[in-house]
Amino acid sequence: MDEPVLLTGAGGRVGQAILRGIGDDYEWRLLDREPLPAAKVPAGVTDADCFVADITDPRAVREAMHDVGAVIHLAGDPRKTAPWDSVIRNNIDGTQVVMRAAAEAGVEKLAFASSNHAVGGYETDERLPDLYRVEDDYRLDGNELPRPGNLYGVSKATGEFLGRYYHDEYGMGVVCVRIGNLTKGHPPREYERGQAMWLSHRDCAHLFDCCLRAEYGFEIVYGISDNDRKYYEIDRAREVLGYDPQDNSANYTFEGEPKPGTDAAGGPDASEGGRGGDRDGARSKADTDVPTDGA
C-alpha cells in the first residue's frame, strides 16, 4: 500500500502489538488522545504523523484522515465495565466519527477492532466449561448475530453494524476483527477461556497486516491464534484475508510454560483480562479491566 495507514489508539496494547510487528512495513499516521512516548513510535514516523486527538472530534479526525489509504480503528474505552455514557461517547459516537470520516475521504479499507465481548452471551451456563475444551465441537464462525455479554460488547456490536452501513453506502471495504485474548509471550496462565481465545502478539500483527493487504467487501472474522482448543473459527480469516497464524496455546502448559520441542512465541507477559469468574476451573483468572483498544 502506497498511501499512509491511520492507526487510532496507537498507544494501546493492540496498537503496540501491531506496530512492533509491522511498524517498518507501512507509512503510518498515529492517533491517540495522549502524546505517544518515543518508545511507542516506529522509526521514520515524524511528529507531524502523530496526532493527539479525541476520536469524537470530527475536525481532528478528518485532519488525521487526510490522504490515508486505510484505517485500523482501535481507539475507544476498553473497559468491559465501562459506564453507558462512556460507551456511547467513546465507542459508538467515536467509531461513527472515524468511519464517516474514512468513508467521506474515500478510504479504501478499514479494519475495526471488535471484540469477543460482542458474542459473550453465547457462553451460556449449559455450554460451560466444555466450550473451552478441545473435545467440544461448538463453534462461532462470524455468521452468527452479535450476542453481547456486557455494554462494552454492545458498543462493539454497534461498531460492526456501522461498518456494515458504511460498506453498503460508500463501498468501503470493512473487516471487523473480533479480538480474543491478546497476550505476549504465552497464553493467559491457568485460564481456560483465555487459552481458548488466545491471540499472540505476532499473530495479531500478522492478522492486521492481512487486513491491510487483502481485498474484501464486508467481513467479520475472529482474531485468535491457531489454538487446538477454540470455540471461534478462523477459517474465514484464512480464506478471505490469507491469515496464517503461527502460535497455539497447546504449545504451553496450563501454567503458561512452553512445552519442550514446541514453537513458542517468546517474550515477556503482557496479559489482558477477559470475562471473569471461576466456573469449574474454566475462568480462574481474575476479572480485571485491562485496556485492549488503547485510546
Residue 271: predicted pLDDT = 36
Every domain of the chain and the residues it spans = 5-251
pLDDT per residue as tens digits for the range 14-41: 999 999 999 999 999 999 999 999 999 9
State the pLDDT at residue 287: 34
Alpha-carbon span 148 to 155, nearest angstrom: 9
CA–CA distance, 28 with 190 (Å, rounded to integer): 37
**Known binding residues:** 90, 115, 152, 156
pLDDT of 265: 63
Decide which of 3.40.50.720, 3.40.50.300, 3.40.50.2300, 3.10.580.10 is the CATH code for 5-251.
3.40.50.720
Out of 26, 122, 138, 152, the active site residue is: 152
User: What is the model's pLDDT at position 208?
Assistant: 98
Binding site for NAD(+), by residue number, is 90, 115, 152, 156
The pLDDT value given to residue 125 = 95
> For the chain, which residues score pLDDT lower than 50?
266-295
State yes or no: is 231 an active-site residue: no
d(CA 27, CA 17): 16
Cα–Cα distance for residue pair 95/89, rounded to 1 Å? 9
